[in-house]
Structure 1
Amino acid sequence: MRTLLLTLAVALIGGARLSAADEPKPADTQPTLKVGDAPPPLKATKWLAGSEVKAFESGKVYVVEFWATWCGPCVVMMPHLGDIQEELAGKVTVIGFTAKDASNTPERVSEFVKKRGNKLGYTIAYADDRETYDAYMKASGQNGIPCSFVIGKDGKIAYIGHPLFLDEVLPKVLAGTWDAAKGAPELEAADKLWDETYSALMKPGDPAAQLKQWEEFSAKWPRLAADPYMTSARLKLLVAAKRFAEAQKLAETVVTKAAKRNDVAALGTVADAVSADAAAGQADLAAVGVKAAESALAIDGETATALIRVIKAHAVAGNAAKVKELGPKAVTAAEKEVTGDKDAIGTLRVAAAHLAAGDKAKAKAAAEKAIGMVDAQNAGLKKYIEDQAKKYVGESK
């Protein structure tokens, strides 16, 4: 799953999918922390939300999930963790643990948690060193986040893996029926089918056939079919298939749920989906998109991405005055976010802001500038930038 999410990942340019986060994997190392082992202690500098967990108590179940502010998929999964904590209150304690690095500073972590407030719904811990992170992640051979560790009632690690699967694992751990030897292969099979299904949903194709494929997956794994990634893909396909009543119902459900958790990622996916060309003329659906985009803007502030998203939503809704009003703000915000003369991603965001504001010529110029920023030896990034720039300049030479 993590490999697929990384492959399909794109940068946030006016709203897009969130990327997987991987770190370099050490060569020729064997995990020293495995399922069945006792978990290392949690050594936190600050407990930013919820109550401090001084030790794992016998007879209780815990989830320790490692995340960072810069990790898109971590942010996507946070509302899900909050839902788990609410649903299993008194039975499970969910702990989000994050450690300092160059981009995950104490200031950024504190600001992130403060912005979302108590709506996160579970315990958050921060460490100004990497001791606990290494004791879990490196010791278990995990090289990507988000990654969760379930500690069972016996005080042993019952599961190590992506938090998407917690809905499948936790009920069995609580009931005492979780068998890692049997459950792990079943989850591997589910993971493989998830990859195949999600990949099929994200590729260009027949929306009706793709939705049928989602339904087949949902029949086998209903909880996984309702995860944030699948829901986003399904919403886009409902719009593309012109099943507007279903799309509006799903969009409204997602927006209502997102408001409960200050879920900017979910609000963004709704706004992006219902702002697609296929939704043109659907006033009620467009109104949901505006609500989602405006809600995300209120939470995240006037970032370039949030402003571009709002402009697109208002454009689909026919609110020309709002587009004219917000266009210059989006361009200014995007230009301020460019970090240097090699920031091709940031420069593409400037192109997106110009296009949202209605200035195609400046959008094209910014996109061409972005292409020229990437060293030809960086083939992967070069191809990505060229592919994205086609939105503004046409086929790259």
Structure 2
Amino acid sequence: MRTRIPATALIAIGLSVCAQAARLDLGQAPPPVRVARWIKAPVKPTGPPRIRIVGFFSSWSAPSNQALPVLAQVARKHAKLVTIEMISVYEKSSGAADTSYYKTVAAFVKQRAALMPYAVGVDDPKGAMANAWLEASGERGVPTSFIIGRNGKIVWIGHTMMLDTVMDEIVSGKFDFATYRKERKEQMEAEEKEYRLLKRFNELQQSGRYREAVAELDRIAKAQPEYGRRMVLVRFNLLLKSDEKAAYTYGRELLNGELKDQSGMLWLMARMLLDETPGLVRPDYKLALDLSQRSADLTKHNDANILTALAYAHFKLGHVDKAIEIQERAIPIGDANPQIPER
């Protein structure tokens, strides 16, 4: 029923993993919604109490963008039953006094008005809403949503992409709260176990000791091969920061081996080479080209983000005409799928 962002994915994009006991859980009353600014203010509903959905997203997050059509469908399908408040969190800022991202979020919402027919607010630079809701409940990614029942208690916490399915179950009376509560407890315990396994590794990579982090990761993978297979992107990312030559050799191995049919993973690797990993001395743009080309082939050249990466790789290699040709093909695909974030 739920899709959670695993610790491995957070580490791959440079975020730390913290374990803490959840202070906000199912069956409890939620904290108040206190945003720094409303981009679209909530309208107080009339009539009997409604089901509330309080969700969290980031304007830069591809999964948040991809969830917008789901939210729009829920808002329209259950217009007389629910109220929705979406809060922008984890936006990019230069510090606790920087509120420039308010304008970024406002522009984001204006551009996607048809996909956001509900109240939208912005968290403050200190992350008050993220702390009170996401971190307090043990969540650590976006998009995440909370469903609050008519009795004012939290009945569901999970990935926003699941909202349509869960709301249908709730409205039809088929939602099994006891089973879901048990599943969530088991999932949280599994993630706590994962945190303990990664604790030493996380300390090393957070302190910039990337070579030691790779060695620790290899130790974990040797002891638990299945877990090691889940960490290949993380290993590639760390090698880029510590041993470029080894990273490019490893990248070729992944491209020709276990990731050869995984378009999303290949695209992420290409992005790491193209613009996501600062400080590369000799970026292997030919590898980036091959990664994005394979990813584009797997998606039948019908994904705007992947085509943009392919165009950028050609540009980096000096193939300007080819880059323009591919980018021009990507534009109408992106226009036809507004949930795809602009680059």
TM-score by length of 2: 0.51
- Asked if the contact 1:146/1:162 (under 8 Å) is kept, the reply is yes
Q: Offset of 1:64 from its aligned partner? A: 1.0
For residues 278-331 of structure 1, the C-alpha deviation after alignment (integer angstroms, 9 at most, x for no partner) is: 95xxxxxx7xx4xx75xx9xxxxxxxx87566x6xxxxxxxxxxxxxxxxxx6x
The counterpart of 2:145, out of the listed 148, 155, 161, is: 148
Find the counterpart in structure 2 of residue 44 from structure 1: 35
Contact 2:36-2:122 at 8 Å conserved across structures = yes
CA contact (8 A) 2:73 2:164 kept: no
Shift of 1:161: 1.5
Q: Does 1:183 align with 2:180?
A: yes
- How much has 1:156 moved relative to structure 2? 0.7
Cα distance 1:98–1:156, how it changes in 2: closer, same or farther (>3 A)? Answer: same
Cα-Cα RMSD: 4.6
Q: Which runs of 5+ in 1 are unaligned?
A: 11-18, 193-198, 211-231, 234-271, 280-285, 297-304, 312-329, 331-347, 360-397
SS in 2 for 1:158: strand
Residue 167 of structure 2 aligns to a residue whose secondary structure is helix
8 Å Cα contact 2:75/2:118 also seen in 1: yes
Amino acid at match of 1:167: D
Report deviation, 1:355: 4.8
Report the counterpart of residue 32 of structure 1 in structure 2: 23
Deviation at 1:83? 1.6
Structure 2, unpaired ranges of 5+: 94-99, 191-229, 231-254, 265-292, 324-343
- Whether contact under 8 Å (2:5, 2:141) holds in the other structure is no
- Specify the alignment match of 1:77 in structure 2: 67
Deviations 1:45-71 (A, max 9, x none): 33223x415699963111111111222
Give the AA of the match of 2:179.
Answer: K
37-46 or 55-64, which moves further after superposition?
Answer: 55-64
* Amino acid aligned to 2:106: S
8 A Cα contact 1:41 1:55, kept in partner: no
Sort the Cα spacing of 1:40 and 1:186 in 2 relative to 1 into closer, same or farther, 3 A: closer
Count residues in correspondence.
Answer: 224
TM-superposed CA distance for 1:95, in Å, is 1.9
Write out aligned runs for 1:245-394 (5 A).
276=297, 289=302, 293=304, 351=316, 354-355=318-319, 357-358=321-322
Percent identity for Structure 1 against Structure 2: 25
TM-score calculated relative to the size of structure 1: 0.44
Cα distance change of structure 1 residues 206 and 97 upon mapping to structure 2, 3 Å threshold: closer
Report SS of the residue matched to 1:139: helix
More helix by share: 1
Deviation at 1:159, TM superposition (A): 0.7
Q: CA separation in 2, counterparts of 1:144 and 1:177? A: 27
Greater relative contact order (Cα < 8 A, sep 6+): 2
| Equivalent-residue separation in structure 2 for 1:114 and 1:146 (angstroms) | 19
Distance 1:24 1:105, change over 3 A: farther
Aligned mate of 2:160, from 154, 160, 163: 163
Return the offset for 1:188.
9.0
Quote the offset at 1:37 in angstroms: 0.6
1:22–1:145 Cα contact (<8 Å) kept: no
Match of 2:124 among 124, 128, 149: 128
- In 2, Cα distance between equivalents of 1:160 and 1:278: 32
